[in-house]
Amino acid sequence: MKILLIYPQYPETFWSFKHSLSFIRKKALMPPLGLLTVASMLPEDFETKLIDLNIEPLDEKDILWADYVFISAMITQRESARQIAQKCKELETKTVAGGPLFSNLHDEYPEIDYFVLDEAEITLPFFLEDLKNNRLQKYYRSQEKPDVKNTPSPKWELVNQKAYVRMPLQYSRGCPFDCEFCDVVRLNGKIPRTKTPDQIVKELDELFESGWKGPIFFVDDNFIGNKNETKQLLKAIIDWKNHNKNKISFMTEVSLNVADDEDLMALLRKAGFNSLFIGLETPSEESLAECGKFQNKNRNVVDSVLTLYRNGFEVSAGFIIGFDNDDISIFKRQIEFIQKTGVVIAMIGLLQALPGTRLHERLRRENRLLTDSSGNNTDFSINFMPKIDPEVLMSGYKEIVKTVYSKKEYYARVLTFIKNYNHQVDEYLNWESIYAVIKSVLYMGILDKGRLYYWKTFFISLLKHPQAFTKFIAMSIYYAHFRKVFIDYAK
């Protein structure tokens, strides 16, 4: 049996970093962990091939080679997924679809032959059994949450590692917090399910032995959802790093309460974690209460972020406007909030009602839904009727992104970060990083109109805060992307 696994193309989004990747000679951020894991769940006598449309084109001969095409996608990849499904239909190759996009919106894809939805550890075995007995059904679904301790390692041999910036691993699924706009609890549950430390060490060994020496992203919904178990894992990773004497660094997504736990921060740093994504959302206490983001309430968020900098973490963060409690003051408050935090990689989005969220359900009951969500809250679209005037909201949103991603404010945040950043982890210095420095100087320091801000920050970082110089170079490269997805589109 020949199985072609296809990962659809992402549109130009905040997280695609499309306009920055050429600086480091990469084509995409990460390979599709879900499809690589599914590949490991298939029978050993199945022949598998992976095509990631974010790094290579899809040829008809690839589809014709396959007995079945497996497609997995996020909501933002919906159009590319549709094109793949239609092409497979034309070529009469059967398709099997799964992942968040299809688990939520499978009714929109009549071209797909079979749907293996929810979590593949449960539903894929039923599909494979029916495939073996020639009795396939249209849908395979289950609300059962599998024990991820039984999840196999990804099939890394399918990946062209040189095309990617980082490699993904997953330690846990689920999050103890249930923010109204987030679909994680509906998809993966409120009680985090974790792999064992030995399991993760095995996956690290396999990835390391495959030749990968770059950064690794733990794609967990909330890496510290179960702090006690996370601490045990971190101790195992520290032992693994000491044994292998490597400098691999890690990044992940956590909740802001990480800043309250000194032992946890120390273990994260010692294990090699140097970058964290956190949902900060809004300076409005009323809006935090509205969306159920209680872990951010009743605290000085700016101080918490600065604490993380001082403990050696770069923080990227999500910010949202469009809550029912937002009024016209939110635009100025959000700008001031973002600037004070010094969060350079600030994903500023309009609130979106994703299918399967409590927000979507509430707005449906209130008859306020306008259209399906694009899955991308930075594409200047609104899919529900906000309490604030929609034109005022859109105008204010554009003003926020134009201001925050102007050269002056952007490099001001870079300065706030590097002045507070306490670097503690060595990273590999290779030809790619040297090439990135050269490109940064050429494009941002010579050709860019904002070069004065660039050079001011360059020398402050190099001379006064050299521990943050590599971070500054990365942030200058990111700007090439952010000004395209925000400044150019907000005009």
The CATH number assigned to the domain holding 68 equals 3.40.50.280
| pLDDT score, position 417 | 96
| pLDDT score, position 54 | 96
Asked, for residue 145, whether it belongs to a domain, the answer is no
Asked, for residue 147, whether it belongs to a domain, the answer is no
Cβ atoms of residues 66 and 51 within 8 Å = no
The Cα 31–Cα 37 span in angstroms is 11
Cβ atoms of residues 237 and 200 within 8 Å = yes
- The helix (H) or strand (E) run that includes residue 201 is helix 197-209
Same domain, 173 and 306: yes
Asked, for residue 63, whether it belongs to a domain, the answer is yes
End residue of a domain, out of 399, 419, 439: 419
Please count the CA atoms within 13 angstroms of the CA of 356 that sit on its side-chain side. 18
Nearest to 163 by CA among 32, 34, 345, 272: 32
Asked, for residue 190, whether it belongs to a domain, the answer is yes
Cβ atoms of residues 208 and 244 within 8 Å = yes
Same domain, 135 and 160: no
CATH code: domain of residue 395: 3.80.30.20
Same domain, 204 and 251: yes
Over residues 6-48, the pLDDT tens digits come to 999 998 877 777 878 878 889 999 999 999 999 999 999 999 9
Same domain, 399 and 465: no
The Cα 159–Cα 166 span in angstroms is 12
392 alpha-carbon distance from chain centroid:
29
pTM score, whole prediction: 0.94
Asked, for residue 182, whether it belongs to a domain, the answer is yes
For residue 6, what are the domain limits?
Answer: 2-140
Same domain, 14 and 132: yes
The Cα 218–Cα 172 span in angstroms is 9
Asked, for residue 43, whether it belongs to a domain, the answer is yes
The Cα 193–Cα 207 span in angstroms is 22
Same domain, 338 and 453: no
> Number of structural domains, the chain?
3
Q: Tell me the Cα Rg of the chain.
A: 22
Same domain, 136 and 158: no
Query: Which residues, in sequence order, are bridge partners of residue 316?
Result: 277
Q: How many CB atoms lie within 10 A of CB 42?
A: 18
Same domain, 403 and 386: yes
Please name the residues in contact with 11: beta carbons below 8 A apart, sequence gap of 6 or more. Answer: 76, 77, 79, 80, 376, 379
The Cα 107–Cα 322 span in angstroms is 28
Nearest to 356 by CA among 220, 191, 184: 184
Q: With a cut of 70, which residues of the chain have pLDDT below it?
A: 424-433, 487-491
Own/partner long-range contacts of 199-203 (Cβ < 8 Å, ≥24 apart): 199/149, 200/169, 200/171, 200/233, 200/236, 200/237, 201/236, 201/237, 201/240, 202/153, 203/153, 203/154, 203/169
End residue of a domain, out of 140, 160, 190: 140
End residue of a domain, out of 87, 111, 140: 140
Q: Which amino acid is at 198?
A: D
173 alpha-carbon distance from chain centroid:
14
Over residues 42-63, the pLDDT tens digits come to 999 999 999 999 999 999 999 9
Pairing of strands 94-98, 68-72: parallel
Same domain, 412 and 481: no
The Cα 26–Cα 433 span in angstroms is 12
Query: Which residues, in sequence order, are bridge partners of residue 217?
Result: 168, 251
Same domain, 415 and 434: no
Same domain, 179 and 295: yes
Please name the residues in contact with 444: beta carbons below 8 A apart, sequence gap of 6 or more. Answer: 450, 451, 454, 476, 477, 479, 480
Q: Length of the chain in residues, anyone? A: 491
Query: Which residues, in sequence order, are bridge partners of residue 97?
Result: 71, 115
The Cα 115–Cα 93 span in angstroms is 15
Same domain, 130 and 261: no
